[in-house]
């Protein structure tokens, strides 16, 4: 395949689209499938057949459209008319959509989601621009919207140095959470001496409450592959790995299919687009270990070992997979590459804040009316996300905190709702951008309990290599357990804070270093709540059971030996 | 290859050769595809778990031999990742998502209700081998919280009561249709809590 | 080999390129506690006791694994470091059942000695008191998991020096445990050569000779020096222009 | 049994009207009394001690109730049951300086080895299923003090001012610590004297 053929495929595909008067896009992402999306598409196909519309109406299984809690979602595209988005579509509604909207052009009003909702208008789709509009399982769909033209452009017109410079100029920073400048990283790997180099896409999205990477891999797999191939060209690698979390079977299947299709068309593999550039991509499936999101642990896992981090330096850019220079970027970071090449670094840099450019995808969840996947320009305020896009808290309850960054992040209280969302501002608040999970909590959430939840996570996911993380997380968890069951003392709180600092400063990898963040941030903003648990022996949110007492109070209290009464021992 | 092995028997690898259990061929195919590279251990374990439902000792020995890896190395890797299970799973299983969004929407109460109703701790199987209760880190369906997966079927916006009654129905159904020998369910989404 | 100069605790120190900070500190007589590190085995950086401060960076680095660099300035005994070392030892004592009074290594245990040296005279954290087995199925040796601090010296010596790789670690986090072969009784291990190297390098009473009782166990690590010196000089490798077998 | 007569000497001397002596107490909680044995091994130093201190409460003296206004209390043993706990709280209230005396008080040591087992299982295994039998409900009737869910070191229930590790601490260690305390100085044990076990 060469550039001309690529354009020909795109044209043919567009022509074919034109031949249909109406296209019914059905979301086939995990959440919509879970809510019955497959049956909806089937019902539509049957209705098309029944109405004899095979030649003019077609259904397309697409990626995510965003408002996951309102699924299954369907978008109706009628030629010459604006797209109409339907929510909560059942097979019955699907039939009506075909019968009324597709045939007569009159929308089924009950299920239409108004397109002027802030949920849509406040978003800027860059990485997700194809998501929900193309069939992720068809390479031609991707090519029709300009797919692989960025790779073709890079291979023909740009040197590797120029690619790295362009990415640097865009101001793109790592979307995995830490925010390291992507262009700088690419350049480091490019300059690193070595015959063999590797490119790794980190799709081990382990943060609970985050599914941006999965959605991108499910909805637009070729974009990730194209981004990786451009990276491969820029750094001089011929082999890439995409590490997919084990819990994402659909993403893995679509990526596998996408790789095969791209290889068949000469868009991956040897002599890509008739150039001298060779680049293969293999999939590695994770096996359930959060720590593998850490880059050195991820590499250990790709090499088939226990996913334990090793101290850096040496950094992967110098010595990574099998000792070779390795570029590791998050899946979403790779998703930003194609638009940067297509529309230019200055276009990308024109969005966002001074130090955080472009857009960021968040998985909005928790106690908020509109949950789902959103893409917003950097610098948007939390208030806009929660109250405009998210449409506020259900049941008229009070906003209490937004949790970002998962187990490595923190809780941001109401007084900071007007903070712009960018790497530095969130860090200053004691949280992090993280990979993009954003969980909204109302006054029914107990902050020590939330801290305990995340600490249990870190304790369970600690690899066990370094002492502070292995044992420190258990000790912190124990104290939080005492706080939430009523048996803690003020001394415990003192020890907890001291432990937080120590674990943060002495742990070997990012997991341990950031494990205290949820505790530190809740202590910072909700200390009062901790004190109420300890001193007043009550949980203001009504979550904690508070059934125990501190050990010294056992003097005055008969020790209940429930088990003594019933002969359970055997 | 003799194609009629008994299904119930534990696989036995003699001198690096499959016992004739056709499921070993799946492993051999993966081994060959990955050129017996030691780095491919996790891929091979994935295949093995998919084929057998869990990683029995003999299976681990077979894989270690084929990849020429030390036994303790293979065991260390298999127990590091929560996805791999070294014990057989129940006929039915329920994975409750304990991700943040589900937790905030009180998924812990669902787990507690299932534990109380069926007398099984999370990560364990009932003594009769009928039901395994598992928890997952995050199934990435946060918009539908609380979410759980019952025998591979995703259920959204559950309550403790609705879950208990669905599981009860599932187990009762199993008793009625026990005749066709329910195979070990292989859910699409699974993160097994370790021992 | 290039000579480099750096500052350790305000004192100029010179060393060879590639030396670790720990090597140079020890040459200078500056002692920091170490547990996972053992000369002759590959470095691990897991116990975090040898962490030092590097000026110009707020990240603490493990001296055992960090190569010395020209112009570096490090501090080895700041108040913060001493406090953290103490806390790490407290965590280790709280993790498993280290009842020194009834341990075969009482009086010669490295963990006990580091605690005494640093003045860690009580543990503020909950003792986790896990229920852990003792495996005495091997003819000559036994492993008491209650005393194990997961330094993995046994794993490394078995792999790197003996070449058997009988030992490895199973599980993860606080549930990690050292295992022989398929987590089977040590006495039934097919790969164990019964060389006893693991027993000799173990810093605590976790691995010991059977038959030794409280405070009776002594460990001798001379063998490591002999083997590694010999290996370095290629004493046991056929000089056929062949390749070095070690790693 | 032989050391018993010796112990009466300091107690008797204490009644002599001399310069104000340090009011010293020693307590035996959940432990084997080995630390007290080692204390008695101070031998002739006991005479020196008797000149400086008045032993106001001790398992080797006669007092039944822990007195008020104690200057220094050495506590042997871990906190294992409610009686231990009650006494520990009283000690803290009535003593200026509380010292964890020996490994059981400092770490929980051997008594804490039961901690992996829930108390009820423990009682079942040891008594109900064992050769002897303790009637059910003995604890509730107050015949024996109720066991705490876990055996804990002394400093987990009250603030402790100094620690003398050792199982038992040898007489040198004890003397170094006690003589410092009697002089009103902080306890500074050298590295060799700080070892557990």
Q: What is the DSSP string of A200-226?
A: EEEE---STT--HHHHHHHH-HHHHHH
pLDDT at C246: 41
Q: How confident is the model at residue B9 (pLDDT cuts 50, 70, 90)?
A: very low
From chain A, pick out residues whose CB is under 8 angstroms from the CB of D149.
Answer: 559
Residues 6+ apart with CB under 8 A from A178: A432, A510
Tell me which residue in B40, B142, B192 faces A304 most closely, judged by beta carbons: B40
Distances (CA, A) of A200 to A334, A359, B98: 10, 22, 29
For chain B, the domains span 1-86, 92-180
**Quick check: C40 pLDDT over 60?**
yes
Question: What is the average per-residue pLDDT within C200-207?
Answer: 97
Tell me which residue in C165, C171, C172 faces B73 most closely, judged by beta carbons: C165
pLDDT at B152: 82
Residues of chain C with CATH 3.10.20.740: 3-77
DSSP type of residue A357:
B
Nearest to B76 by CA among C197, C142, A465, A321: A465
pLDDT at B186: 38
**Quick check: D12 pLDDT over 80?**
no
Please state, in angstroms and rounded to a whole number, the distance separating the CA atoms of residues B22 and B2: 9
Residues 6+ apart with CB under 8 A from C20: C43, C63, C64, C65, C66, C67, C68
If one looks up domain A19-117 in CATH, what number appears? 3.40.30.10
CATH value of A146-349 in 3.40.50.11540, 1.10.390.10, 1.10.3720.10, 3.40.309.10? 3.40.50.11540
Residues belonging to chain D with any Cβ–Cβ distance to chain A shorter than 8 Å: 82, 85-86, 89, 118-121, 123-125, 128-129, 136, 139-140, 146-149, 152, 156-158
**Number of neighbours of residue B47 by Cβ within 10 angstroms:** 21
The DSSP bridge partners found for residue D71 are: none
Tell me which residue in C164, C179, C190 faces B75 most closely, judged by beta carbons: C179
- Listed as own residue / partner, the contacts of A95-99 with beta carbons closer than 8 Å and 24 or more positions apart are A95/A43, A95/A44, A95/A46, A95/A47, A97/A24, A97/A44, A98/A24, A98/A44, A98/A47, A98/A48, A98/A51, A98/A53, A98/A57, A99/A47, A99/A51
Please state, in angstroms and rounded to a whole number, the distance separating the CA atoms of residues D58 and D64: 9
Please state, in angstroms and rounded to a whole number, the distance separating the CA atoms of residues A149 and A7: 8
Q: How confident is the model at residue B143 (pLDDT cuts 50, 70, 90)?
A: confident
For chain D, the domains span 4-109+149-187
- Residue C179 dihedral angles phi and psi, to the nearest 5°: -130, 160
Nearest to C138 by CA among C195, C214, C210: C210
From chain A, pick out residues whose CB is under 8 angstroms from the CB of B77.
Answer: 304-306
Query: Is the bond preceding residue A4 a cis peptide, omega within 30 degrees?
Result: no
Tell me which residue in D109, D155, D196 faces C112 most closely, judged by beta carbons: D196
From chain D, pick out residues whose CB is under 8 angstroms from the CB of C101.
Answer: 103, 109-110, 167, 196-197
Regions of chain A where pLDDT drops below 70 = 558-570
CATH H-level, domain D4-109+149-187: superfamily: NADH:ubiquinone oxidoreductase-like, 20kDa subunit (3.40.50.700)
| CB contact (8 A) between residue A247 and residue B136 | yes
What confidence tens digit (pLDDT) does each residue in C42-73 have? 999 999 999 999 999 989 999 999 999 999 99
pLDDT at D127: 76
**Quick check: B5 pLDDT over 50?**
no
DSSP type of residue A408:
G
Distance from CA of A531 to the nearest CA of D (A): 20
The interface predicted TM-score of the complex, written ipTM, equals 0.92
| Chains in contact with chain C (at least 3 beta-carbon pairs closer than 8 A) | A, B, D
Helix H, strand E, coil C: the string for chain C is CCEEEEEECCEEEEEECCCEHHHHHHHCCCCCCCCCCCCCCCCCCCCCCCEEEECCCCCEEECCCCECCCCCEEECCCHHHHHHHHHHHHHHHHHCCCCHHHCCCCCCCHHHHHHHHHCCCCCCCCCCCCCCCEECCCCCEEEEHHHCCCCCHHHHHHHHHHCCCCEEEECCHHHCEEEECCCCCHHHCCCCCCCCHHHHHCCCCCEEECCCCCCCCCCCCHHHHHHHHHHHCCCCCCCCCCCCCCC
DSSP-derived 3-state class of residue B171:
helix
Domain A359-445 has CATH 3.20.20.100: no
Which DSSP helix (H) or strand (E) runs through A373?
strand A372-377
State the burial class of residue B88 (Cβ atoms within 10 Å of its Cβ: 0-12, 13-18, 19+). Answer: middle
Q: How confident is the model at residue B183 (pLDDT cuts 50, 70, 90)?
A: very low
From chain C, pick out residues whose CB is under 8 angstroms from the CB of D103.
Answer: 100-101
Distance from CA of B76 to the nearest CA of C (A): 4
**Quick check: D62 pLDDT over 90?**
no
Helix H, strand E, coil C: the string for C191-223 is CCCCCCHHHHHCCCCCEEECCCCCCCCCCCCHH
Assigned fold of B92-180: Glutaredoxin (3.40.30)
Which DSSP helix (H) or strand (E) runs through B127?
none
pLDDT at D6: 30
**Pairing of β A74-78 and β A84-86:** antiparallel
**Pairing of β A280-285 and β A239-244:** parallel
Q: At what angle do helices A490-506 and C79-95 cross, to 10 degrees?
A: 110
Distances (CA, A) of C196 to A548, C161, C227, C231, D33: 48, 12, 14, 19, 39
pLDDT at C238: 58
What mean pLDDT value characterizes chain C? 93
pLDDT at D133: 62
From chain B, pick out residues whose CB is under 8 angstroms from the CB of A69.
Answer: 143-144
What mean pLDDT value characterizes chain D? 87
Residues 6+ apart with CB under 8 A from D80: D29, D30, D111, D147, D148, D151
pLDDT at D123: 81
**Quick check: D143 pLDDT over 90?**
no
Q: What is the dihedral sign for C-alpha A152, A158, A164, A168?
A: negative
What confidence tens digit (pLDDT) does each residue in B58-89 have? 999 999 999 999 999 999 999 999 999 999 98
Optimal mutation site among C103, C110, C116, interface D, most CBs of chain D within 10 A: C116
**Quick check: B19 pLDDT over 90?**
no
Q: Tokens at residue C38, please?
A: 């053992």
Distance from CA of A312 to the nearest CA of C (A): 9
Nearest to A416 by CA among A396, A394, A431, A397: A431
pLDDT at C97: 96
Q: Is the Cβ of C189 closer than 8 Å to some Cβ of chain A? A: no
Tell me which residue in A462, A478, A506 faces C51 most closely, judged by beta carbons: A506
Tell me which residue in D116, D150, D163 faces C122 most closely, judged by beta carbons: D163
What confidence tens digit (pLDDT) does each residue in A428-465 have? 999 998 888 999 999 999 999 999 999 999 999 999 99
Q: How confident is the model at residue B176 (pLDDT cuts 50, 70, 90)?
A: very low
Nearest CA in chain C to B79: C171
Interface of A with B in 205-224 (CB under 8 A): 205-211, 214
pLDDT at B145: 87
Assigned fold of C3-77: Ubiquitin-like (UB roll) (3.10.20)
Please state, in angstroms and rounded to a whole number, the distance separating the CA atoms of residues A426 and C48: 29
Which residue reads 């002596």 in tokens? D21
Q: Is the Cβ of A556 closer than 8 Å to some Cβ of chain D? A: no
Domain A448-551 has CATH 1.20.1440.230: yes
From chain D, pick out residues whose CB is under 8 angstroms from the CB of C100.
Answer: 103, 167, 195-197
| CB contact (8 A) between residue C174 and residue A311 | no
Domain B1-86 has CATH 1.10.10.1590: yes
**Quick check: B115 pLDDT over 60?**
yes
For chain A, the domains span 19-117, 146-349, 359-445, 448-551
Which of B42-56, B103-117, B133-147, C102-116 comes out lowest in average pLDDT? B133-147
Architecture in CATH of C95-232: 2-Layer Sandwich (3.30)
3-state helix, strand, coil in chain B (%, to 5): 45, 10, 45
Q: How confident is the model at residue D19 (pLDDT cuts 50, 70, 90)?
A: low
Please state, in angstroms and rounded to a whole number, the distance separating the CA atoms of residues C206 and A556: 41
């Amino acid at each position: 395949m060469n550039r001309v053929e690529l354009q020909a495929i795109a044209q043919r595909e567009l022509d074919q689209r034109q031949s249909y008067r109406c296209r019914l896009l059905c979301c086939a992402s995990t959440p919509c499938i879970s809510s019955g999306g497959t049956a909806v598409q089937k019902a539509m196909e049957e209705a098309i057949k029944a109405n004899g519309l095979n030649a003019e109406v077609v259904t397309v299984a697409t990626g995510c459209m965003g408002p996951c809690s309102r699924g299954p979602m369907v978008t109706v595209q009628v030629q010459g008319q604006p797209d109409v988005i339907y929510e909560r579509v059942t097979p019955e509604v699907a039939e009506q959509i075909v019968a009324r909207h597709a045939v007569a052009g009159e929308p089924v009003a009950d299920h239409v989601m108004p397109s002027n909702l802030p949920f849509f208008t406040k978003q800027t789709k860059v990485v997700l621009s194809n998501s929900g509009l193309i069939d992720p399982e068809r390479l031609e769909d991707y090519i029709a919207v300009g797919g692989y033209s960025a790779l073709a452009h890079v291979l023909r017109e740009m040197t590797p140095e120029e690619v790295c410079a362009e990415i640097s100029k865009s101001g793109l920073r790592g979307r995995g959470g830490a925010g390291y400048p992507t262009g700088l990283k690419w350049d480091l790997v490019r300059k690193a001496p070595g015959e063999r180099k590797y490119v790794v896409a980190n799709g081990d999205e382990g943060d609970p409450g985050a599914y941006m990477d999965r959605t991108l891999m499910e909805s637009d797999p070729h974009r990730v592959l194209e981004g990786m191939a451009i990276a491969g060209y820029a750094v001089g690698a011929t082999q890439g790995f995409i590490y997919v979390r084990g819990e994402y079977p659909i993403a893995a299947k679509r990526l596998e299919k996408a790789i095969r299709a791209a290889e068949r068309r000469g868009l991956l593999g040897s002599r890509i687009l008739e150039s001298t550039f060779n680049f293969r991509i293999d999939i590695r499936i994770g096996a359930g270990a959060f720590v593998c999101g850490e880059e050195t642990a991820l590499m250990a896992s790709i090499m088939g070992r226990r996913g334990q981090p090793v101290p850096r330096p040496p950094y992967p850019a110098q010595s990574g997979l099998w000792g070779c220079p390795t570029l590791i970027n998050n899946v979403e970071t790779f998703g930003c590459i194609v638009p940067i090449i297509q529309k230019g670094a200055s276009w990308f840099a024109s969005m966002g804040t001074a130090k955080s450019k472009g857009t960021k995808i968040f998985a909005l969840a928790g106690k908020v009316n509109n949950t789902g996947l959103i893409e917003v320009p950097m610098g948007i305020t939390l208030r806009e996300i929660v109250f405009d896009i998210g449409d506020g808290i259900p049941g008229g309850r009070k906003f209490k905190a937004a949790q970002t960054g998962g187990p490595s992040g923190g809780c941001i209280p109401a007084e900071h709702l007007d903070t712009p969302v960018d790497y530095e501002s969130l860090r200053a608040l004691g949280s992090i951008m993280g990979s993009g999970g954003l969980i909204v909590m109302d006054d029914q959430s107990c902050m020590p309990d939330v801290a305990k939840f995340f600490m249990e996570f870190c304790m369970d996911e600690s690899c066990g290599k370094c002492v502070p993380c292995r044992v420190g997380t258990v000790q912190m968890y124990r104290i939080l357990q005492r706080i939430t069951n009523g048996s803690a003392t003020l001394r415990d709180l003192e020890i907890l804070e001291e432990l937080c600092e120590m674990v943060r400063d002495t742990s070997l990898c990012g997991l341990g270093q950031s494990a205290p963040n949820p505790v530190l941030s809740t202590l910072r903003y909700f200390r009062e709540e901790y004190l109420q648990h300890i001193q007043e022996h009550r949980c203001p949110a009504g979550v904690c059971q508070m059934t125990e007492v501190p050990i010294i109070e056992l003097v005055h209290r008969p020790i209940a030996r429930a088990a003594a009464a019933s002969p359970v021992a055997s | 290859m003799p194609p009629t092995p008994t299904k119930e028997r534990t696989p036995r690898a003699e001198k690096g050769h499959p016992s004739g259990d056709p499921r070993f061929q799946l492993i051999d195919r993966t081994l060959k595809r990955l050129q017996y590279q030691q780095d491919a251990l996790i891929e091979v374990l994935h295949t093995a778990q998919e084929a057998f439902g869990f990683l029995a000792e003999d299976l681990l020995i077979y894989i270690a031999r084929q990849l020429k890896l030390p036994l303790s190395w293979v065991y260390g890797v298999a127990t590091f990742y929560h996805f791999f299970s070294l014990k057989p799973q129940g006929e039915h299983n329920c994975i409750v998502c304990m991700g943040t969004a589900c937790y905030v929407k009180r998924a812990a109460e669902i787990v507690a209700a299932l534990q109380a109703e069926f007398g099984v701790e999370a990560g364990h199987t009932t003594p009769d081998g009928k039901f395994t209760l598992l928890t997952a880190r995050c199934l990435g369906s946060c918009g539908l919280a609380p979410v759980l997966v019952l025998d591979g079927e995703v259920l959204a916006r559950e309550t403790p009561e609705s879950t208990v009654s669905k599981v009860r129905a599932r187990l009762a159904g199993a008793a009625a249709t026990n005749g066709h020998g329910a195979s070990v369910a292989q859910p699409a989404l699974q993160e097994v809590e370790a021992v | 080999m290039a000579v480099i100069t750096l500052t350790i605790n305000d004192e100029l120190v010179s060393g060879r390129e590639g030396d670790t900070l720990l090597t140079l500190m020890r040459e200078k007589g500056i002692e920091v506690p170490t547990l996972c590190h053992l000369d002759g085995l590959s470095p691990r950086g897991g116990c975090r006791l040898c962490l030092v401060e590097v000026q110009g960076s707020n990240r603490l680095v493990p001296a055992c694994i960090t190569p010395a660099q020209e112009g570096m300035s490090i501090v080895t005994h700041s108040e913060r470091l001493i406090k953290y070392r103490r806390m790490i030892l407290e965590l280790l004592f709280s993790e498993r059942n280290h009842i020194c009074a009834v341990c075969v290594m009482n009086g010669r245990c490295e963990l006990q000695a580091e605690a005494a040296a640093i003045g860690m005279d009580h543990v503020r954290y909950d003792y986790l008191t896990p229920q852990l087995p003792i495996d005495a199925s091997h003819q000559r040796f036994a492993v008491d998991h209650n005393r194990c601090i997961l330094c993995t010296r046994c794993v490394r010596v078995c792999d790197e020096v003996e070449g058997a790789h009988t030992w490895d670690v199973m599980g993860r986090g606080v549930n990690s445990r050292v295992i022989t072969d398929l987590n089977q009784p040590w006495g039934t291990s097919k790969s164990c050569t019964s060389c006893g190297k693991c027993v000799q390098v173990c810093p605590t009473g976790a691995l010991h000779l059977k038959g030794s009782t409280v405070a009776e166990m002594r460990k001798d690590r001379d063998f490591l020096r002999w083997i590694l010196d010999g290996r370095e000089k290629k004493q046991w490798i056929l000089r056929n222009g062949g390749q070095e077998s070690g790693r | 049994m032989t050391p018993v007569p010796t112990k009466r000497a300091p107690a008797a001397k204490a009644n002599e009207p001399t310069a104000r002596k340090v009011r010293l107490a020693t307590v035996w909680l959940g432990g084997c009394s080995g630390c007290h044995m080692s204390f008695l091994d101070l031998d002739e130093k006991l005479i020196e001690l008797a000149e400086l201190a008045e032993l106001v409460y001790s398992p080797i003296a006669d007092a039944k109730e822990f007195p008020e206004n104690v200057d220094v209390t050495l506590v042997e043993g871990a906190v294992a049951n409610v009686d231990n706990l009650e006494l520990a709280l009283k000690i803290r209230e009535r003593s200026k300086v509380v010292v964890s005396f020996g490994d059981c008080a400092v770490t929980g040591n051997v008594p804490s080895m039961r901690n992996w087992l829930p108390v009820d299982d423990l009682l079942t295994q040891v008594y109900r299923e064992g050769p002897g039998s303790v009637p059910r409900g003995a604890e509730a009737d107050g015949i024996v003090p109720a066991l705490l869910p876990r055996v804990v070191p002394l400093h987990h229930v009250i603030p402790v001012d100094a620690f003398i590790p050792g199982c038992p601490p040898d007489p040198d260690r004890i003397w170094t610590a006690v003589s410092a305390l009697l002089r009103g100085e902080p306890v500074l044990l050298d590295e060799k004297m700080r070892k557990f076990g």
